[in-house]
């Protein structure tokens, strides 16, 4: 792996969930000292970020930005991790759409979750953490992937009777992990994908 490839894997990107051109409402500084701000969702690890943007840039919801490392940032001045409760109502309303879009854009990555999910404990499997998947459906998915790995969400739905809209099942789990900080097992949020 070249040095540039290594550097690229260390770059964290995010999608803007909400853009506040006049800064954060709870920022007590005078308006002229506030930077445009907003909230973003990490594309690899689904981390939530509060960000301060370069005042010379005008962003829209859905814009992709670099949040880490500091020297690779283009329009992000400051960035810090936040919880779901810290988001604005605008960011809350965009979150499920952005998660669905990320899953659709990286279908192979998320289909591979169904191909590669493993037991967490002797009694608990990663697949059973997904909403609507119990032991029977889990066993069917495992048997089918032994025959041949799944190539797409359509194939997964076709081969596993009872599994409807597998992309939405993943989105629901990701949203649950984002909303509930007390979820014991986090499968998607905070787990950075590496190349």
- Segments making up each domain of the chain, as ranges: 3-103, 106-179
> What stretch of H or E contains 137?
helix 135-147
Question: What pTM does this model have?
Answer: 0.87
pLDDT, greater one: 60 or 9 = 60
Regarding beta strands 64-68 and 48-53, do their DSSP bridges make them parallel or antiparallel, or are they unpaired? Answer: unpaired
Q: Class of the 106-179 domain? A: mainly alpha
Tens digit of pLDDT for each residue in 130-170? 999 999 999 999 999 999 999 999 999 999 999 999 999 99
Residue 99 has pLDDT above 80, yes or no: yes
Please report the pLDDT score of residue 31 as a whole number.
64
Q: Class of the 3-103 domain? A: mainly beta
Sequence-distant (≥ 6) Cβ neighbours of residue 129 within 8 angstroms: 120, 173, 185, 187
- 3-state SS string for 81-102: EECHHHCCHHHHHHHHHHHHHH
Tens digit of pLDDT for each residue in 12-34? 899 999 998 877 777 666 666 67
């Amino acid at each position: 792996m070249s040095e540039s490839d290594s550097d690229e894997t260390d770059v964290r990107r995010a999608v803007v969930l909400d853009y506040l051109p006049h800064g954060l409402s709870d920022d007590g500084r005078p308006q002229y000292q506030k930077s445009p701000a907003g909230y973003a969702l990490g594309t690899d690890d689904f981390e939530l970020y509060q960000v301060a943007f370069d005042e010379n840039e005008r962003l829209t919801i859905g814009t992709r930005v670099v949040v880490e490392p500091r020297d690779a940032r283009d329009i992000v001045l400051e960035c810090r991790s936040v919880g779901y409760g810290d988001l604005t109502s605008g960011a809350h309303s965009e979150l499920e759409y952005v998660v669905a879009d990320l899953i659709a854009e990286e279908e192979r990555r998320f289909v591979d979750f169904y191909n590669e999910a493993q037991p967490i404990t002797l009694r608990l499997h990663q697949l059973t953490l997904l909403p609507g998947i119990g032991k029977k459906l889990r066993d069917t998915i495992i048997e089918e992937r032994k025959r041949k790995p799944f190539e797409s969400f359509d194939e997964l739905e076709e081969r596993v009777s009872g599994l409807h809209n597998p992309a939405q099942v993943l989105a629901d789990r990701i949203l649950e992990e984002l909303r509930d900080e007390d979820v014991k097992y986090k499968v998607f949020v905070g787990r950075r994908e590496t190349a």
